[in-house]
Amino acid sequence: MSAQPGKPYQTHGFQTSIDIARQQTYDVAPLAGHKRLADHLTEGPQKVPSIEHTLSLPAESGRYQSIPTRPAQVDFVRPSVAPPRNRLAPSEIREVATVPERNHAKQEKSHIQSKASAPDPHLFLKHPHYGLPPALVANFAALGINDIYPWQASCLLAPGLLQGTRHLVYTAPTGGGKSLVADVLMLKRIIENPSSKAILVLPYVALVQEKLKWLRRIVQDVDKNVRDGDIDDNDDGSAEMKLYHQRWKKLQRSIRVTGYFGGSRTSASWADTDIAVCTIEKANSLINSAIEECTIGNLGAVVLDELHMLDDEHRGYLIELIVTKLLLLRQNIQIVGMSATLSNTELLSEWINANYFVSTYRPVPIDEYLVFENAIYPAATSRQLFQTITKLASASTVSLTDTMPPHRIFQPSTFRELSNPMTNSMVALAVDTAAAGYGALVFCGSRQACQIHAAIISEAMPAQSTLDPEELSRRLDLLAELRSLPSGLDPVLETTLIKGVGFHHAGMTTEERELIAQSYDQGALKVLVATCSLAAGVNLPARRVIINGARMGRELVGPAMLRQMCGRAGRKGKDEVGETYLICEAVATGLVSGFDAIKEYVKCTLLYRTMDKKIAYNIMHSALQELIIEQLLRQNDDESYGATQLGEAVVASAFAPEDGLCVHEELSRALQAFVMDGEMHVFYMFTPLQMAVNTPIDWPIFRDQLDSLDESGLRALQFVGVQPGFVNSMVQSGASLKENTPEQIKIARTYRRAYTAFQLRDLSNEVPLSVIASRYRTPRGAVQTLAQQCHGFAAGMVKFCQRMGWGMLAAVLDHMRDRLEAGARADLLEMTQVTYVKGWTARLLRDNGFSDLRALAEASAQDLVPVMMMVNQRKSQKSQLHPTEAERYNKKLLAKAEIIVASANKIWGREMQLDLEE
């Protein structure tokens, strides 16, 4: 629908892209839908496409002109299809010296030639030595894995590995195929031993979710080797009973993969899964439960990915605990540990008594460079570079480029925004990559830097080269998807995405990050600016990886993280080569009881392998005494040791000992005077102790929230130690919390947890995430992360209370945990079990006639579409959408509505079955 001349569009309070376009000047592309060709290809007559559609684009004068396009490539006319004129131009990158051919490139060519001339039959997964079922081999082939690398074959065929009788520790570069080795060993163990289970441990939720999808595709239609005699084969009875038994047989033979991580809504138990894909904390909790319930014998394999996390000061001890317990059990459990960044593989293999394997092979070679002061140096000379810079520190008159000739140089920029050499080189490298049609990953040290750098790079993206209409359409679809989210479209993203530049950091919601990452992976976005969490959390390859600065956050980039980031460069099937550029700004559980058994436990630790034995035993003695003093452990008359009830509760909850003691103190006080006539006391309890370390407090907001509390809420916060007078004094003085003494640290923790509890309260009362983020002036992604972390902490609190025998308190906490997980009040808990139905969506469904789960199951999908359009008010304003776009949006909502109805039917049917059985 077009507007009348001289009259504005109906915007309902929002600027449309037409309004924005009229405020800016534009460059005119030479031909819409065609990439700019090289000069020697553009000479002579050119064929002009038939003019069946035209796009109205602003000319240099500001007036609009028509440019022909191909109707087959642009499905409908959208406003603002041409990016605005660039304010910046990237600097030219000039060649200075020729770098010799890489040795690893020669090795790669040699490997390819030898492989092509005489293929080794062991390089194919269908080889009988691997013993993999045809369905599994076919699934690997469907995902592009037909053969394996020589190093993978050598590793898998080492004695005892495929048979599950030996452990394995190995390292291989990122992109070198290390995950496949662990997948084969784990799946073979599950298939050949149907009663066995496996645990795959990953450090981050994003990795767990990604691996979950991958494994479910790999095991589809793959059967375990279950003998018919092992399944109840009674087919007597009706046709319905026979069908039931057939489904039961199929279920028993299928491989069930379940994800366990903070914020997951899985109801699957340990008995319901074959492969558990877990975060570190969840894996430790699962193993503790299996030991306690005497079902640990069902565990057949444990895969520890990112084994270098042993060095992590906060979570590394949990990995060591997992391995130590498994070694002490002496069960038939195969341990497989892997990482791209292990430097002590041999030591770890001695600890675990495992085979070890080190591979340096990478299918796609990487060129590594260091950038300093507008010059590029091969990374092979970086040590010499650092030495030279150090010498020049006191002799600034000498030119570095004279001392060490660079490989390439950047022309200094005349633009003020690019006057900093770091920014200048970052923009030049990113734009150069995008102009060549490849993807670039830019790593920055903070969330704010991501957005700033993305905006600068987008301003310098080549304006004269026209976009392929299909690529432009995909970017517009991405913008429409982001607008349809409950949190809306970030204004910075709105300006950068159309130019092919996105950013990715923890301050964004999960849905935003997934959509941005997917668009980059599919090529719609050419440049992605991210924090270092992307390097470890999402598998996104790039032709060029650009690391902007040696600091990520407050810390210097360590060797492990540097290799993680560099490992994103080049990936088989996407690129033939990869490049990395580091831009430097300057030089800068009932396992043991007796004393002898405890000594055996210590011998199984990594600590015992890395220090003098007497020192290790002294540490053991000190730890035992400290645990006794803290009443987590007791010493019996026969000099054996046993866990106290408090100690058992700490282990069951998976809390660290110091956190468990703090939780015990708070819950003990709560038992004496728990505020039951409101919610604030529970939400304060559910706030993780770790959140109280760095959570910033906006004191005026804190005061406003206190003022709005009812008598019950105020009484609850005063009970835990919050004083309104102290909050008022902080508002008036503008001071910050002091944390110099233990007492000050305790007070600061109390106020930070109370401030966070307000956000949890809002989440559980159906307040939209974007509203919470605005209300507390915090990133939307931070609110979402808070909710995910609180789910795990709340589950630990419930287990703690149950183990301590505080059943009534456990019941109250469990009910509120369900509300927190659902993001809804109590009356909607049943409905929020349905896929895609969160708290706010459930409330709208109820308010519009779908009163309960049964009503939702019996609904027509078409009837749900109007309600779903109400979930996002801005998107529901159809006057803002072109008719074709509105039709596409309706189809997308209808597909989602069909999934909702199907999910509701499944849950309702399951509940009816349970009622019949009872």
Answer with the one of 331, 358, 385 that is the final residue of a domain: 358
Phi first, then psi, for residue 355 (nearest 5°) are -65, 145
What is the mean predicted confidence (pLDDT) over 815-837? 76
Give SS3 for 53.
Answer: strand
pLDDT band per the 50, 70, 90 thresholds, residue 703: very high
Answer with the one of 795, 823, 851 that is the final residue of a domain: 823
- 587 vs 554 pLDDT, higher one: 554
pLDDT band per the 50, 70, 90 thresholds, residue 623: confident
Contact, 831 vs 846, CB < 8 A?
A: yes
Measuring CA to CA, how many Å separate 147 from each of 120, 136, 273?
A: 10, 13, 29
Please list, residue by residue across 205-241, b when 16 or more beta carbons sit within 10 angstroms of its beta carbon and e when fewer do. bbbbbbbbebbbebbeebbbeeeeeeeeeeeeeeeee
With respect to residue 623, please indicate whether it lies within any of the assigned structural domains: yes
Half-sphere exposure of 918 (CA within 13 A, CB side): 6
- 228 vs 730 pLDDT, higher one: 730
C-beta contacts of 264-269 below 8 A and 24+ residues apart: 264/791, 265/821, 265/833
With respect to residue 766, please indicate whether it lies within any of the assigned structural domains: yes
Residues 458 and 505 in one domain: yes
Which pLDDT score, from 0 to 100, does residue 12 have?
36
Q: How far is CA 730 from the centre of its chain?
A: 36
With respect to residue 697, please indicate whether it lies within any of the assigned structural domains: yes
Q: Rounded to 10 degrees, what is the CA torsion of 212, 215, 217, 219?
A: -140
- List the alpha helices (DSSP H) in 170-263: 178-192, 205-218, 239-253
**Radius of gyration of the chain from its Cα atoms, rounded to whole angstroms:** 30
Amino acid found at 125: L
DSSP-derived secondary structure letter, 34: -
Residues 210 and 336 in one domain: yes
Question: Tens of pLDDT along 69-89?
Answer: 333 333 333 434 444 556 788
Identify the helix (H) or strand (E) that includes residue 366. Answer: strand 366-372
Q: In what order do the strands lie in the sheet with 299-304?
A: 257-260, 275-279, 197-202, 299-304, 334-339, 167-171, 354-358
Which pLDDT score, from 0 to 100, does residue 362 have?
76
Question: Tens of pLDDT along 285-316?
Answer: 899 888 888 889 899 999 999 898 888 777 88
Residues 860 and 908 in one domain: yes
Q: How far is CA 853 from the centre of its chain?
A: 31
Q: Look at residue 486 and tell me whether its pLDDT is greater than 90.
A: no
Q: How many domains does the chain have?
A: 5
Identify the helix (H) or strand (E) that includes residue 580. Answer: strand 578-583
Range(s) of the domain holding residue 438 = 367-583
DSSP-derived secondary structure letter, 48: P
Residues 273 and 416 in one domain: no
Among residues 204, 54, 126, 179, the alpha carbon closest in space to that of 788 is found at 204
Query: CATH number of the domain that 545 lies in?
Result: 3.40.50.300
Which of 182-191, 211-220, 419-428, 845-854 has the lowest average pLDDT?
Answer: 845-854
Among residues 780, 797, 752, 822, the alpha carbon closest in space to that of 659 is found at 797
pLDDT band per the 50, 70, 90 thresholds, residue 380: low
Which of 35-44, 394-403, 494-503 has the lowest average pLDDT?
Answer: 35-44
Residues 808 and 878 in one domain: no
CA dist 371 and 425 (Å) reads 8
With respect to residue 35, please indicate whether it lies within any of the assigned structural domains: no
Total number of residues shown for the chain: 918
Query: CATH number of the domain that 773 lies in?
Result: 1.10.3380.20
Contact, 322 vs 284, CB < 8 A?
A: yes
Residues 514 and 613 in one domain: no
CA dist 675 and 716 (Å) reads 6
Contact, 504 vs 532, CB < 8 A?
A: no
Residues 409 and 349 in one domain: no
Contact, 866 vs 889, CB < 8 A?
A: no
Among residues 643, 641, 648, 646, the alpha carbon closest in space to that of 621 is found at 641
For 597, other C-beta atoms within 10 Å of its C-beta total: 14
Residues 665 and 571 in one domain: no
List, in sequence order, every residue forming a beta bridge with 542; answer none if it has no partner.
569
Answer with the one of 823, 856, 884 that is the final residue of a domain: 823
Half-sphere exposure of 768 (CA within 13 A, CB side): 12
Half-sphere exposure of 910 (CA within 13 A, CB side): 11
Residues 690 and 812 in one domain: yes
Give SS3 for 670.
Answer: helix
Contact, 801 vs 532, CB < 8 A?
A: no
